[in-house]
Amino acid sequence: MKNNSIKTLVRENILQLQPYISFRDQNEFSSPVILDANESPFGECNRYPDSTQKKLKSRLAEFKNVLPSQIAIGNGSDELIDLIIKIFCEPKKDAILMMNPSFAMYGFYAAINENRVLKLDLDENFEIVKDNFLKVADDSSLKIFFLCSPNNPTGNSVDDIEFYLQNFNGIVVVDEAYIEFSGRKSGIELLNKYPNLIVLQTFSKAWGIAGARVGMAYASEEIISLINTVKAPYNVNVLSQELILKTLEKEGRLQENLSRILQERTWMKQHFEGIACITKVFPTDANFFLIKMENIDAVYTRMLGEEILTSRRDPAIPGCIRINVGNREENEKLINLLKSI
């Protein structure tokens, strides 16, 4: 970040807001009679969740070596993307910058907020051309740059994250939904060096808990305070918080998931070689492949006919399908079908 302080990037009306935090969550009680929130006194899940997610943040802080005050918890990373745009982008005035191709929801939430979306076209290897970035980076309307690394749907990681932090005069959001599969260092290690950095992570991919809908933002205390001000009071439910806490007690689950998925990724890549309908398998740091197909219409139709669900990426990426790593039975069914075409 070259010039501005964080406060100058924030919408004026957001700076005037006071966060809603329930009275219970701001105080400690030993055995309270709870009559303050119009809840039912009956039921197994009758009380509102902790709106500040204290236990979860405390455990994540230990796990990631940050302060609890540097963490915001979202109802999936999608909610956090939406909130970040609302905090920093004035509707009908400001813009976001995103890689192209990349995760479509950055542009989707910007459009909902009536912000322009500038797309930075990637080269033939799906890498950012730094000179092209520098040409647009000084646009005064740009408030946020979304960097997805590893990138969805291309699978490759972004090199030299610090270059973009140093040369963008706004907020840089590094979306690390697939970071565990890459073996690379997280941008979390750069938080204390760059006040304009937000790192997004999730429990939906490597952890295998997509159904819980829990995402995390790691950033400066100033930015996290803004996110906590704007978020809904009870945005992460009790059951999801408890499930994540139990999962974090079993760190081996992550390593087991990772090991199996990476083994299957290697197995799939080996078996893609020599399949006639495949013309290119792009390098991947994620739990999916971007694959270029000959006669993509026929291939996709055949897969769909066998109820093998994949993500067709053309015309945005001509002739390409994104296929994620499944279990061995699923992967064998896919490979055998592709070999038969």
pLDDT in tens, 20-49: 877 887 888 888 998 888 989 999 999 999
Whole-angstrom distance, CA of residue 172 vs CA of residue 123: 21
Query: Which tokens is 229 given?
Result: 């001000």
According to CATH, where is 3.90.1150.10 located in the chain? Answer: 253-340
In this structure, what token pair is assigned to residue 137? 């980076």
pTM of the model: 0.95
For residue 54, the Cα-to-chain-centroid distance in whole angstroms is 22
- Give the three-class secondary structure for 216: strand
Place of tokens 């646009």: 139
**Fold classification of 7-248 (topology level):** Aspartate Aminotransferase; domain 2 (3.40.640)
Architecture of the 253-340 domain = Alpha-Beta Complex (3.90)
Kindly report the three-state secondary structure assignment for every residue of 308-338.
CCCEECCCCCCCEEEEECCCHHHHHHHHHHH
pLDDT score, position 20: 80
The DSSP string of 275-302 is -TTEEEE---SSSEEEEEETTHHHHHHH
pLDDT on residue 3: 56
pLDDT of residue 328: 97
Note the pLDDT of residue 4: 61
Question: What are the respective helix, strand and coil percentages of the chain, to the nearest 5?
Answer: 40, 15, 45
Three-class SS of residue 247?
Answer: helix
Residue 313 is predicted with a pLDDT of 96
Would strands 197-202 and 95-100 be described as parallel, antiparallel, or unpaired? Answer: unpaired
CB under 8 Å to 238, separation ≥6 — which residues? 45, 47, 49
> Partners of 323 in the beta sheet?
289
Cβ within 8 Å of residue 44, ≥6 positions away: none
Residue 191 backbone dihedrals phi, psi, to 5 degrees: -60, -45
249 CB neighbour count, 10 Å cutoff: 9
Residue 98 and residue 79: Cα distance in Å, rounded?
Answer: 17
Residues of the chain with pLDDT below 50 are: none
Degrees, nearest 5: CA angle 322-326-327: 165
pLDDT of amino acid 250: 83
Q: What is the CA radius of gyration of the chain?
A: 22
pLDDT, residue 2, reads 59
- What token pair was written down for 323? 């296929």
Task: Please name every residue paired with 173 in a beta bridge, in sequence order, or none if there are none.
Answer: 146, 198
Within the chain, all domains assigned CATH 3.40.640.10 are found at 7-248
Contacting residues for 59 by C-beta, under 8 A, at least 6 apart:
245, 248
As a whole number of angstroms, the distance between CA 71 and CA 73 comes to 7
pLDDT digits (tens, 9 = 90+) for 267-294: 999 999 989 999 999 999 999 999 999 9
Distances 321 to 67, 181, 314, 340 between C-alpha atoms, Å: 40, 20, 7, 18
Closest CA to 81 of 201, 187, 162: 201
